[in-house]
């Protein structure tokens, strides 16, 4: 970690960069979808509500799926052998959602975490073309509860030695997989989280590729195929033949 706290890019307005308007009532208006840029820690929920609303929504959606009577779910889905996976902002949601179903494991793919102290990777990739630091900061400013900073547990799962959530995951016996690449500004956050999980006795695996960038698997077919292989190898031990 570094105590340095570089300001947002002084030549760039983050709202203009993302083509959004900060409204006087606290909501935002997004004029265009910005490819490869996270717009909130729940990208599929465009409402202006801050955390923990997205977490509650995730739990509700999981229960809707579990109780759905569509044939392809009732006939082929095995809800006793379930993994929860989230990518980027969805990784944050998957980690924090207060799930009340039995699952086998948790897959965090480039999970969107942060903190007040800058990591080496954030400083090294401060002007990253996909996830520059000033955009990262704005996303948290718009998403966290009003009055808290980026060391809130919703943003920084390692602050203060980790929250009780880590102990709950350990007691539930969930297996955890954390995936990222060295070209992602968030990589040091993932490495730190994995280290803390290991120290607390969680069953955790990690897969950190060289190069790449945040969201690379959505653009590079070879990376996407490699990701599928990592996921398959992680989940296969729980399958009943």
Residues annotated as catalytic (active site), given as ranges:
88, 184, 214
CB atoms within 10 A of CB 144: 18
The rounded distance, in Å, linking the Cα atoms of 78 and 62 is 14
- The partner residues of 206 in beta bridges, in order of sequence, read 178
Return the closest-CA partner of residue 216 out of 181, 186, 168, 241: 181
Q: Do 183 and 213 contact (CB within 8 A), yes or no? A: yes
H helices of the chain, where? Answer: 14-17, 53-66, 71-74, 89-96, 120-124, 133-143, 164-172, 187-199, 221-235
């Amino acid at each position: 970690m570094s105590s340095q706290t570089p300001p947002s890019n002084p030549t760039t307005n983050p709202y203009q960069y993302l083509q959004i308007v900060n409204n006087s009532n606290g909501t935002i208006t997004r004029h265009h979808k910005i490819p490869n840029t996270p717009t909130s820690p729940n990208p599929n929920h465009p409402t202006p509500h801050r955390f923990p609303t997205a977490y509650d929504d995730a739990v509700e959606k999981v229960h809707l799926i579990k109780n759905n009577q569509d044939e392809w779910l009732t006939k082929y889905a095995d809800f006793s052998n379930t993994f929860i996976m989230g990518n980027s902002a969805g990784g944050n949601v998957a980690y924090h959602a207060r799930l009340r179903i039995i699952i086998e494991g948790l897959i965090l793919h480039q999970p969107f975490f942060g903190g007040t102290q800058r990591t080496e990777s954030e400083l090294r990739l401060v002007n990253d073309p996909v996830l520059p630091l000033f955009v990262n900061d704005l996303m948290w400013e718009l998403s966290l509860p009003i009055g808290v900073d980026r060391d809130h547990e919703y943003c920084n799962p390692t602050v203060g030695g980790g929250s009780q959530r880590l102990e709950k995951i350990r007691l539930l016996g969930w297996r955890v997989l954390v995936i990222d690449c060295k070209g992602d500004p968030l990589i040091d956050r993932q490495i730190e989280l994995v280290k803390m999980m290991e120290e607390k006795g969680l069953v955790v695996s990690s897969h950190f590729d060289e190069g790449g960038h945040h969201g690379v698997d959505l653009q590079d077919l070879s990376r996407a195929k490699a990701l599928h292989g990592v996921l398959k190898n992680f989940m296969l031990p729980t399958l009943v033949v």
